[in-house]
Each structure stands twice: as structure tokens, then as C-alpha cells.
Structure 1
């Protein structure tokens, strides 16, 4: 069984209902079409056109795509093409980054050709357009798997029971804007590949997968959770080409961020991170209750891929998703799957969302420690969920000796997010 907490994260509690042998998770906030699918949430359309209680297929409209193999081939070709990072500077008002492949409505026909199992979850909204029920977590997980396969050629993507799942469009946006930073400051080495640190990669490995597949970056994916890295290694077994670009490294010191991860003689052009952002489990639970109350008000809102359908504009809540094990969150423990019910949407996952002192304390620690590696990392970056933290972090970085800082804003539908970047 798969449940969603109303912070916008999907939690897998059983794998028996997955559409195939590699059931891949996505977050319900990724859905670009939640707005009109809710009235039909219990009306899946069978082949006869009658409402069915289960998950029958509906006929998929024709598209110009060929076969599943051809779809993957096109994805492979797209991912090996050189992205023009020197193109026009993107504007926040334009929504997703202009290189983001998830613009507009999802092409359901193309996604079904990539992953036929997705057709089991297709319904029609009141306008007669194909969509899925974004309240059905199994449907959203299948959509996420199809997105990764169709757009990036990533196969075998999976998440262990109880781990949290990322929205692909929002994750891709961070990578694209980070690539703009690399291009702006000409960070790529003349003889060699761009090397990027992925701090707190989680079991989903999403930043490293996107950075390697889209920009051919060499990624160092770090986490404190061996189980998360074991799952990441399994994903790489299904993607041998990416396995040559992504290295996994376990952080044994939970009080350190860059120490032990950056070895003597190593040099990186960039680091990326999605930090824990709550100060306590109580804060996370309170936010969960607030989001539950607001769900009905937001579930009909028209959204685009990468948005969070239940989060108000610039809410300060990092609904973009949290990797399965955000780095250095306090008291990591195995999830209590028995607690995953409607009354306890966090269950054992609350420790993945918070750390002592919350986001601000974590990022200040990152800023202090980054100074030790000023000659080994060109630019450090991290998402910042709360806008009010930005001026405090900028001032703190100045006191730490940062020579230059940037704040990069991103817009995914109604949601505003940002990351902070600094160099010494």
C-alpha cells in the first residue's frame, strides 16, 4: 500500500501493487494535472467506457512516437546532446526552466508508449483530456517511472519501502539552474568533465541521475544511510552507462557534511543539496495537519508539472520533496511501517524531514564547513525552503569570508523555490 502525507511527499509502504517489477515512486506534488482529475477519482474508465472500481485501461490516443524501444532511443539521444547553457537567461515568471523537458501538460500517449503499465491509471478529466488521479499514489508512482524512462532513458528506478520520493520536474529545475551557474562562471575544466557533489542523495539518487544523464556530469553521491546507498547502487546496475559517471560514498560521521566526503586531491566544480528544514518532529506534524486542512481548497487548482498542488505560493515549506534520507537529520532510524496510516502520515519518516535547529542551523553548519574546502569546490549551493532565511544566510556567509554569493529563484507553477550559492 502506498500513502501520501500532505506535505506533498509519497511514502511507499508495500510493493505488491506496483505495475511492474521495477515500481518507481514519484511525489504527488509532481502532478501537473491534478486540478480536474479529482471529480473522477473513483471513476476509472474501462474499455467499455463505463465507470469501473478497479484499474482498467483506457484507449491511448495516437501520437507520433514509435515503440517503447524507440522512445527510449530518443531519450538516450536527447540526453547525449550538448545543452546550450549559454542561451537566454531564464525568467522566474516563465515557470519551469526553459531547458526543462517537463513544460506544459504531460504527453500521456508518449509516456504510455514508454511504459504501457501507465495506461492502467489513465482517466479523463471533465474537459475530456487524459490524466491520472493524482490522489492515487500508485498512479503517481507509475507516472514518475514513465517520466524517467521516456525523458532520460533511466530504467529500474525504485525506492525501498518507507522512503520518500521526489517530483521529477522540480528536481530537474535545480539541476538546470545549477548548470547555468557552471556556464556563467565557466567552471567546466578544459580537459575533463564537470564534477559535482550531491549531498544527501537519498535512495532515489535523483540529482545524480539527472546531472549525469542530462549534462554528463561526474557525480559524487553522498549519504549517511547505507540502505539508501544500497538502493542507489541497485538503480545504477540497471543503468550501466550512468554507473560510470556516478560514485557512491557513505558518510560515517553524521556531524560532518563535507569532511570525509571530499578527499585530498579531489576537486569539484559544484555541490548540490536539499537540506532538512523542520526543527522538530512536532513542527513537521503541525505542518502536516495544516496541509490536511488546506487540501480541499487547493486540490482543484490548475497546475503544471513540477508544482505542488496543495501548497500556497511561496509557503516557505519545502514541498518540492525531500530525498529519502536527507543528510544528517537527527536520530535516523528504520521507518515504522505500522504507523503509516491516515492518523500518522509521518510514521517513521519524520526524522527524514527535520534536524536540530532546522534548515537555518544546518545551512550555517554547511557554510562553516565549506570554508575548509574553499580550494576544492568552486561553488557551493543548497536549496533554501524559507525566504526569510535567505538574508540571514547571506550575512552569515559574508562573515565566513565568502567572496561572492547568489540567490537563484525558481518557479514551478504556483510554487516559488530558490537556492543559494557561494564561493570563496
Structure 2
């Protein structure tokens, strides 16, 4: 006897209202725009069309199709074993930071998201996939600096930009030669950015990353797994760093103080709620003027974004008036 067809909600209500991926994937439509997805689509045990999300090649083919259909990206690829991020979650972060920028608008335009290339965003850890700059540029017209410590990631991101006419001149890829630095060596003297975004490495060691993958797959497949296949891939610097997420965020906060006047809002994702206390303590120590915590949710996963600024309300107002004149 076949399992009963699974009932699904019309929309993924946890995602941001502007997120294009709130509805279930229409695989036939995706195959139409990206035929190379076809071999990976199958009818699952619940009689729904899907892909094997444990197959890295299937996940990559899905990402290609999503980026082509929803964001007009004709070429997208990543080197083998590099991080292949879930698109809906990446889009969510950008829509929430767009709301943050919108909240800075003067009364007549309050909550209207500023659009256009004069809004400049730094993506700390752009990765080989370049997904945050792609979505941010295609959704809001923002210009991006994509920074990374891995030369292979930078070369891959640059290739994506070079092969998509719509991205050329919109995204600048910069290699960070010193892995101990985040903004230093990337932001130029007197350079101004409106926003920095970051999805920090989650784990504190390679062993912890492997253990986390085994646990995740075991929970999803309900059976014993000895050696994980990272369905979304990931190099060591993409998945872990010494001290893990908490230390990385602490270092970023500390270094952001040196660039207090260079950026309107610094921000980062914080995957573990237990790390918030340390982040708030670090922000207090560096004298952040304003701190915002915005909850986010994708399916069963809950996360949050923490944003901070060193600018007073008067300085924030002046920043918007002088830099966002062309926003529409």
C-alpha cells in the first residue's frame, strides 16, 4: 500500500513575505528553465516530485535552476566540494537586512527599501557560490564587495560575475590575504559601505563539523551513518574556524570598531542562541550605539540576525540623506 500523499501548506510562512521561495518548488517549471535538473527529479514515497537532498549534484542542479528562473543567472557553478547553500535561507537574510535599511528612511519614505547601486554591501565570506551578492543585486540593485580568505572561492565567484552580463560592474571580488582579519585589508581608506553581512563558520573544528553532519543525516534518514556526504558541500574555512561561530563573531565585532565610521550597519547571522550573550557583551565593550536582533525561521531551523551601528541617530540621518539620494 502506498503511503498517503503528504499534505503541505500553501506557503512556507516562516520565510520573509518578499521571499520568492515561499511556495513549494514547481519542479516542472524549474526543469523548463534548466533542463539539466531533470535527471535528479523523482516522485518520492509521498507521491511528491522532489530531488534527493542527500545528493550534492542534485542540490547543485536545483540551485542552478532556482538562480536561473528567479534571478536570471545564466551561468552558475562551484568547484567540487565547495559550499552549495540553500537559496531560500540566503534570500531571507537579504530581505531582513533590506527591511533594516528601509527603517532608516525619512518619514515620507519610511520602511521603503532603498534600491540601486549606491547602496554598497560587503559580504564577509562570499564563498565560491557568490549567492548573497547575486540575490541582493538582482532583488534590490545593490552593489557588492565579496570578500574571502580562499583564492579558489574568489576565482569562482569572479567567474560567475564575469559570465553574467547583469552582474558585471555590480560585484567586486576581493581576496583577504590575512585570515585573522575581516575588514582590515578589504575596506579601503575612506571607503564607505552601507551594510556588512556575514554567515560565519558554524563549527569550532573539523571533527565537530563531521560529527554535526553525521548527527543531522542520522536524524533525517533515521538510520546509522558512519561517514557523512556533505549534501551542501563545504571547505574547511566555510564550515569551521578556531573557536567556532562565537569567537568569529567576537573577532568581527572587535574589528568593526576600527571601521566605526565606514559602515552604517554591521550584521551577522547567529545560528546558536547560546552565542547571543557573548555577542551582546562584546558589542557593549566596543561601544555600539544601537543593536538590533531580528529572528529568522526556515522550516524547522530557527536563526537570527544581529546588527549593530556605531553611528548616533543624527549621524545615521545624515548618512541616509547624503548617500541614498538616488534611491527609489
Per the normalisation by structure 2, the TM-score is 0.82
Alignment counterpart, residue 173 of structure 1, candidates 82, 88, 92: 92
CA gap of 1:210–1:285, structure 2 versus 1, over 3 A, is same
Distance 1:131 1:278 in 2: 29
CA gap of 1:245–1:419, structure 2 versus 1, over 3 A, is same
Give the Å deviation of 1:173: 0.4
Matched, 1:294 2:213: no
Distance 1:130 1:155 in 2: 24
Alignment counterpart, residue 407 of structure 1, candidates 286, 293, 301: 293
Give the alignment of 1:208-227 within 5 angstroms.
208-227=133-152
Of stretches 177-186 and 136-145 in structure 1, the one that deviates more from structure 2 is: 136-145
CA gap of 1:294–1:381, structure 2 versus 1, over 3 A, is same
Matched, 1:229 2:154: yes
Alignment counterpart, residue 132 of structure 1, candidates 51, 54, 62: 51
Give the Å deviation of 1:236: 1.1
Partner of 2:270: 384
CA contact (8 A) 2:117 2:170 kept: no
Partner of 2:313: none
Alignment counterpart, residue 349 of structure 1, candidates 235, 244, 248: 235
Distance 1:348 1:168 in 2: 15
Give the Å deviation of 1:285: 2.7
Partner of 2:280: 394
Per the normalisation by structure 1, the TM-score is 0.64
Q: Deviations over 1:270-326 (max 9, x none)?
A: 00001112222222233233224323249xxxxxxxxxxxxxxxxxxxxxxxxxxxx
Partner of 2:9: none
The runs of 5 or more residues in structure 1 that have no matched partner are 1-34, 38-92, 299-340
Give the alignment of 1:178-327 within 5 angstroms.
178-186=97-105, 193-297=118-222
CA contact (8 A) 2:115 2:140 kept: no
What SS is found at the alignment partner of 2:101?
Answer: helix
Matched, 1:371 2:296: no
Q: Deviations over 1:148-172 (max 9, x none)?
A: 0000001210001221211000000
Distance 1:351 1:137 in 2: 19
Give the Å deviation of 1:186: 2.8
User: Comparing both structures, which one devotes a greater share of its residues to helix?
Assistant: 2
CA contact (8 A) 2:204 2:241 kept: yes
Report how many residues are paired.
Answer: 293
The runs of 5 or more residues in structure 2 that have no matched partner are 7-11, 107-112, 311-328
CA gap of 1:135–1:155, structure 2 versus 1, over 3 A, is same
Distance 2:234 2:56 in 1: 19
CA contact (8 A) 1:121 1:133 kept: yes
Give the Å deviation of 1:131: 2.5
Give the Å deviation of 1:239: 0.7
Give the Å deviation of 1:191: 9.6
What SS is found at the alignment partner of 1:263?
Answer: coil
